[in-house]
Chain A
Amino acid sequence: MELMEYQGLVLAYFLILTAIFVSMHQKAGLEKQLFYGSIRAFVQLMVMGYLLLFIFNLKEFHYLILTLLIMAVVSGQMSAKRGEGVPDAFRIATGGIIIGSSVSLGILVAFGIIETEPRFIIPLGGMIVGNSMYASSLSLNRISSELKARRMEIEVALSLGATSRQAADRSLRETVKSAMIPSIDSMRTVGLIHLPGMMSGLLLAGASPIEAVKFQLIVVYMLTSAVSITCMCVSLFAYRKFFTKNHQLVFISSPDLSNRKGRMSKSQK
């Protein structure tokens, strides 16, 4: 099905020209940015389109898995940047994203809700990985600030015979809560405040509204599941990095954290 000819695309570029006209008329000085922005969007999306075309043609299942893994690793890297101060942030984030994504995508596939075709797996996988990345970043960021802020409380608990896990309990709870709130909120407002892009896309492509809604619901549930599993895994992996096996709280500033040492000496060079 050919939805659009390139001819249409070129004509649509007149829309950008109207924006450039507005900018000139209002002396906003955004003409350059608008022009480059529109070209950039064109190039990026075309590249993405051909990439997807290539991936969709790889019918083999293991290529699909490989593609998803690459997405997870790249987003793990992005997320780790948010977790500065958490030792091993990259591995923690990537691990959490992979677990969260594969469980929720796995359930969808295992129950036969979606087929293992690239045209389902890749876009849904991308959404899952992206949302998991967001959850992982929030969790990494929050867990280290929670542990730092509750340092006294944690040491009191340890001194009373709590394990690291028990002492970090409240920090973990707060972390998971704060990382999940955005997806709960978006679940509550979906359809009220915004029509999700995917649903709009289905409607444009000619699906009936009920079909589109059903699919959107699957996506919302899937993302909520992925987000919750990811933030649970990430915070459970991350908090351990702040404790020794003898249930001692170690601080990030402490020079005996080997990781930190390596990073410090690198930056000093």
Chain B
Amino acid sequence: MDEKIIIENVCQEKGVKILDNISAKVYDGEIFSIFGPSGSGKTTLLRLINRLDEKTSGHIYLDGVDIDEMDVITLRRRVGMVFQLPALLPGKVYQNILFGPGLFDRSKRDDTALALRYLKLVGLDEELLDRDGETLSVGQQQRVSIARALANEPGVILMDEPTSALDLTATLKIEELIKRLNRELKVTIVIVTHNIEQAVRVSDRSMLIVRGRKIEEGKTKDMLKNPKEELTEEFISGHLEEVR
């Protein structure tokens, strides 16, 4: 398998150290989860990959090219992002989906056929296309935001705790969707979660970050069964207890 993203000795500091010398590899076509307690720097790391934030040092490569050498707009079109909250833009559902494509090709701003394709891809009904984003349920909104990210045809999608605003049923459905999109579109997905069970359910491989430092990286199931590090074990057992 080819490496899609290489994270190399990445540090970030804003007064305090947020990320400390993180290195990891994400392979093409996999679902990779970054998990850890809240405040550990997971979201920051994700935001460094599409350069919504700037790292202090280190390198990140996308398809072998240093992202600092790339045009940032091009980078962001190739690396989509789904946020914790759906954050639909004011307007109709189709306008949300077509926002990305419409930035570069004005004719696509009203290309409802295109919007419909992505709406169906995320399992939503055609009749939602013309609805105001605000009238949708949070689960539906999050699906629209996934469709919106997909409409740029990115090779990678970053997801920042995409189910944290959802109840369990909606969460499981979104997880199914994530797996299906990964399978059908061969899109690489990096998902941030504080929920280790979610990491197990959706991801092939994972990385645990605690207080800005990488503790362990590997196959998610192996990490859960045979944690190599004491902290991993602690986090897993602590978290599982917390859930029970």
Residue numbers of A with Cβ under 8 A of B are 152-153, 155-163, 166, 170, 244, 246-249, 254-256
In the bound complex, do residue B72 and residue A159 qualify as a contact, i.e. CB atoms below 8 Å apart?
no
Given A161-B73, A161-B100, A248-B51, A155 and B83 contact (CB-CB distance below 8 Å): yes
Q: Which residue of B lies closest to A170 (CB)?
A: B90
Contacts of B74 in A (CB 8 A): 161
Minimal beta-carbon separation of B43 from chain A (angstroms): 12
| B15 contacts partner chain A, Cβ-Cβ < 8 Å | yes
**Who on chain A is nearest to B85 by CB?**
A152
Contact: A160 with B152, CB < 8 Å?
yes
In the complex, the chain B residue whose C-beta lies closest to that of A245 is B72
B65 within 8 A of A: no
A-B pairs, top 4 by smallest CB distance, nearest first, are A160-B100, A159-B81, A152-B87, A161-B77
Pull 25 A–B residue pairs with CB atoms less than 8 Å apart, ordered by A.
A152-B83, A153-B89, A155-B83, A156-B83, A156-B145, A159-B50, A159-B149, A160-B76, A160-B77, A160-B103, A160-B148, A161-B74, A161-B76, A161-B77, A161-B100, A161-B103, A170-B90, A246-B51, A246-B54, A247-B72, A248-B51, A248-B54, A254-B14, A255-B15, A256-B14
A161→B72 CA distance, assembly (Å): 8
Known: A156-B145, A160-B103, A160-B149. 11 other contacts (CB 8 A): A155-B83, A158-B52, A159-B76, A159-B80, A159-B81, A159-B83, A161-B76, A161-B77, A246-B72, A248-B53, A248-B54
Is B14 within 8 A of A255, CB to CB? yes
Interface centre among A152, A153, A156, A160, by most chain B C-beta atoms within 10 angstroms, is A160
Count A-B pairs with CB separation below 8 Å: 62
Please name the residue on chain A nearest to B68 by beta carbon: A246
CB of B36, distance to nearest CB on chain A (Å): 22
Residue in contact with B99 in the complex, picked from A160, A163, A254, CB distance below 8 Å: A160
The docked-state distance in angstroms from the alpha carbon of A76 to that of B85 is: 40
| Shortest distance from the beta carbon of A268 to any chain B beta carbon, whole Å | 14
Give A161 to B75 CA distance when docked, in angstroms.
8
Q: Is the CB of A153 within 8 A of B54?
A: no
CA A156 to CA B76, docked complex, whole Å? 11
Give Cα A170–Cα B95 distance, bound, in whole angstroms. Answer: 15
Tell me the minimal C-beta distance from A128 to chain B in angstroms. Answer: 35
* A5 CA to B89 CA, complexed, in Å: 66
Q: Report yes or no: B54 in contact with A244, Cβ–Cβ below 8 A.
A: yes
Within 8 Å CB of A249, what residues of B?
Answer: 52
Closest Cβ neighbor of A159 among chain B residues: B81
Cβ of B105 to closest chain A Cβ, rounded Å: 12
CB contacts under 8 Å to A, within B172-219, are none
- Whole-angstrom CA separation of A244 from B76 in the bound complex: 15
Q: A248-B53, A256-B14 are in contact. Are A166 and B103 (CB under 8 A)?
A: yes
How long is the Cα–Cα vector from A246 to B51 in the complex, in angstroms?
8
> CB-CB contacts of B74-108 with A at 8 A, as 1s and 0s?
10110011010101011000000001100110000
* A57 → B minimal CB distance (Å): 57
Asked whether A158 lies within 8 Å of B90 as measured between CB atoms, the reply is no
Rounded to whole Å, the gap between the CB of B212 and the closest CB of chain A is: 16
Contact of A159 among B52, B54, B85, B104 (CB under 8 A): B52
Residues of A within 8 A of B99 (CB): 157, 160, 162
Closest residue of chain A to B56 (Cβ to Cβ) is A256
With both chains docked as a complex, state the minimum distance between the C-beta of B83 and any C-beta of chain A, in angstroms: 7
Q: Is the CB of A157 within 8 A of B89?
A: yes
- A244 to B89, alpha carbons, bound, how many Å? 22
Q: What is the chain A residue whose CB lies nearest that of B81?
A: A159
With the chains together, A255 CA to B81 CA distance in Å? 25
Complex CA distance for A6 and B183, rounded to whole angstroms: 92
Q: What residues of chain A lie closer than 8 Å to B14, measured between beta carbons?
A: 254-256
Q: Are A153 and B100 in contact (CB under 8 A)?
A: no
Shortest distance between the CB of A200 and any CB in chain B (Å): 45
